[in-house]
Amino acid sequence: MLEHVYRDARALDELNRVTGRYLVVTTPNAYFPAIAHDTCLPFCHWLPVNLRDVYARCFGRLQMQQGNRFWTSSDLDRHFHDFRRVSRFLHYKNVEDFFAAYPFYLPYGRGEWRSKPPRMLKAYYSAVSLSGAMSHHFLPSLAGTFERQRSHKSTSNIGSGELV
Instruction: List C-alpha distances in Å: 133 to 16, 86, 95, 99, 148.
Output: 21, 8, 11, 17, 17
Under 8 Å between Cβ of 7 and 69? yes
**Nearest CA among 138, 140, 163 for reference residue 152:** 163
Domain parsing of the chain, residue ranges = 2-30+69-150
Q: How far apart are the first and last CA of the chain?
A: 23
What global pTM score does this model have? 0.79
- Tens-digit pLDDT profile for the chain (164 aa)? 788 888 889 998 898 889 999 999 989 999 999 887 788 899 999 999 889 999 999 999 998 888 888 899 999 888 888 999 999 999 999 999 999 999 988 877 678 898 999 999 999 999 999 998 889 999 999 999 999 997 665 544 444 444 43
What confidence score (pLDDT) does residue 35 get?
A: 84
Give me the chain's average pLDDT, please.
Answer: 86
